[in-house]
Amino acid sequence: MSTTSTAHGLPFPAGAVRVEPWYHPDKPFGGESNGEPGSRRFFVGREWTVQRDDEGDVRVSVDGEQTAEGTVERFIVVDGDPFTPGQARDLADALRAAADEADLMAQRDPAVTR
């Protein structure tokens, strides 16, 4: 994949694996843009998969949006639900705490003998 856009020679966002065409929020849905001011484009970044035997796998990716002016906003996406980087850290902390609690509680469970 090339690292620059055809509009303005604006570089693709760092880490972008796929970059969608420009669109303008004031144009009809599906109408592409040539990258004029106010235009935006979505991009998809790296993805990780957490495999689960008993349920569907969980996908985590870094996606985002770039403006024609060059501003880039990234989101951490968990199975389609976007989180800001701060929210993702909070989620990671909560998941780590829950896993620690589950391990601790498992140690306190009474032994079952049969």
pLDDT in tens, 42-68: 999 999 998 877 778 888 999 999 999
What torsion do the CA atoms of 81, 84, 87, 91 make, to the nearest 10 degrees? Answer: 50
pTM: 0.69
Q: Which of 8, 108, 112 has its CA nearest to residue 66?
A: 8
What CA–CA distance (Å, rounded) separates 43 from 63? 6
Give the integer Cα–Cα distance in Å for 11 and 6: 9
Phi-psi region of 12 (alpha: psi -120 to 50; beta: other; left: phi over 0): beta
Write down the domain spans for the chain. Answer: 18-84
Q: What is the mean pLDDT of the segment spanning 5-11?
A: 68
